[in-house]
Amino acid sequence: MSPPRLTILISILATVVRSADGGTGNTPIPVSVVAEMIDNAEQGDAILVPAGIYEGNLIIRKPIVLDGSAGAIFDGLGEGTVIEVLAEQVTIRGCVIRATDEDVTGEPAAIRVIAADATIESNTIDDALFGIDLREAPNAVIRNNTIACKNLEPGRRGDGIRLWWSHGCTVEGNTVRGSRDMVFWYSEDLRIDRNTVTDSRYGLHFMYSHDTVIEENDLRSNSVGIYLMYSNRITLRGNRLTNNRGASGYGVGLKDCDDIIIAGNELLANRVGVYLDNSPSSVDSTGLFESNMVAFNEVGLLATPNTHGNVFTGNAFVENEEPAATHGRGRLVSNDFARDGVGNYWSDYAGFDLDGDGIGDVAYEPRSLFGAMLANEPNLRLFVHSPAQQAIEFTARALPELRPESTLIDPSPLASPPRINSAIAGGGIGGARMAVLAATLLSIAVACIAALGFERGLPAPQTGVRS
């Protein structure tokens, strides 16, 4: 495509648009105007759509670049899918796309691609049931889009980004808020990097999607951070999963997944840090957990009974209410909690490191009576965080015959937490506010004491008779 052609096209369009909206710029324009532009364009042309609100549904059947960065807004008026791509090698860039249908029938999306090699980048999607929906659209790139879904009750929401039978795609730098999932069905060889998903159901959700690398994503306040199901050979590296505490509430959940590598991630303040549901499921496959920070979760590691074949090394399990537990009866002893003499750091480790080699001299074997009771009587979880719970643990310590078997054995626990550097910076913002709060509380005390704590003394006695 040559620059002069583009310029001509724009000038023609500008005339059309101006005549359509009377020059005010805010009057809606039927999206057929854009469809006409596409019809008039050559294959591979870049169409810089002039600023304006284009109403209606657009179908792209020609490989072109649809560039909305001049201020184009595509408004579906609450009906159907806003932009549907049926041709290969289409790029949609810089558009604002909004108002899909609300009814889940037909799964209306802001952008639906049913062709290979699409590039969807730097779009802003709002008020969408589904955000970006790829069906059998391999080798697509979805990059730097911002997606906010319709403000529906969670059960009626659609997915922020969905891939269906779309291999070899790259999904990076997108921000999704308030959707159901960012979900990948039957899609292999993906790169999922630097996305942020918040306030959704599952941050990243994989179904039968193998051979994927997931790096440096930030998944906050979802029900589950990353849920891998029936998906093998997946690497999670440098992701940050915080405050995912919904009904399931896992930082990372694995269901029947083989040969997973989870390394250098941060799993903080989730209900459950890592949940293992029959993973790995095949004989001879493993799960490797290396150098992750698992901290402040209700349960650091939760597994179904008889989970086996996982290796945990160099992780830090810090201040989780329960470091490790199983669903129901069962123990985690068929997993290795050390590799080549390097175990994990457990903040509740009560042992010691006399020889100073950085490895605790006695094995870490957590044996919580309350934890064991919880396994049998889940209702008792009501009593966590209470002195009664402490009393039970204390009793168990005093009466060894009451102590249950340990849930796991780490033969070489680390004496100090390993340094784990996440690529994603966090925290730090509230320090000043916390300091202000602390100062306020102290001032209340001081003010109270100053105002009430002292009685003004007696004045000098007056001489003479009081009148």
At closest approach, how far in Å is the CB of 254 from another protein? 21
Assigned token pair, 82: 């806003």
- Measured from the CB atom, the residue of 283 and 465 that comes closer to another protein is 465
Taking alpha carbons only, the member of 334, 328, 297 closest to residue 315 is: 297
d(CA 166, CA 133): 10
The smaller minimum CB distance to another protein, of residues 197 and 420, is found at 420
Minimum CB separation of residue 242 from another protein in Å reads 7
Structure tokens at 36: 């006409």
Residue closer to another protein by CB (options 149, 392) is 392
Question: Minimum CB separation from another protein for residue 455, in Å?
Answer: 5
Encoded amino acid at 209, one letter: S
- Contact between 122 and 143 under an 8 Å Cβ cutoff? The reply is yes
Whether residue 400 has a cis bond before it, omega within 30° of 0:
no
Q: Nearest approach, Cβ of 195 to another protein (angstroms)?
A: 20
Q: Work out how close the CB of 263 gets to another protein at its nearest, in angstroms, rounded to a whole number.
A: 17
Q: How far is the CB of 368 from another protein (least distance, A)?
A: 15
282 vs 416, which CB is nearer to another protein?
416
The edge-to-edge listing of strands for the beta sheet with 161-164 is: 58-60, 83-85, 109-113, 130-135, 161-164, 181-185, 202-207, 224-229, 250-255, 272-277, 299-303, 322-326
Helix (H, G, I), strand (E, B) or coil at 230: coil
Q: Which amino acid, residue 398?
A: A
Cβ proximity to another protein: between 41 and 392 the closer is 392
- Comparison of 57 and 326: residue with beta carbon closer to another protein: 326
Question: In whole angstroms, how close is the CB of 213 to another protein at the nearest point?
Answer: 24
- Rounded to a whole number of angstroms, the minimum distance from the CB of residue 252 to another protein is 17
**Of residues 8 and 388, the one with the C-beta less far from another protein:** 388
> Which residues, other chains included, contact 357 with Cβ-Cβ below 8 Å and sequence gap of 6+?
none
Tell me how far, at minimum, the Cβ of 198 lies from another protein, in Å.
14
Nearer to another protein, 283 or 451 (CB): 451
Rounded to whole angstroms, the Cα distance separating 331 from 236 reads 25
Amino acid in the structure at residue 388: A
Which residues share a beta bridge with 74?
A: 54, 97
DSSP string, 161-206: EEEES-TT-EEES-EEES-SEEEEES--S-EEES-EEESSSEEEEE
Dihedral sign for Cα atoms in the order 119, 54, 124, 25 = positive
| CA 240 to centroid of chain Cα atoms | 8
Shortest Å, Cβ 403 to another protein: 18
Q: Which is nearer to another protein, 76 or 238 (CB)?
A: 238
How far is it, in rounded angstroms, from Cα 255 to Cα 302? 12
Cα separation of 49 and 37, whole Å? 9
Name the residue nearer to another protein (CB basis): 24 or 379.
379
Give dist(CA 105, CA 85) in Å, integer: 19
| Residue in this structure with the two tokens 């959700």, named with its chain if needed | 205
Q: Is 206 exposed, middle or buried (0-12, 13-18, 19+ CB in 10 A)?
A: buried
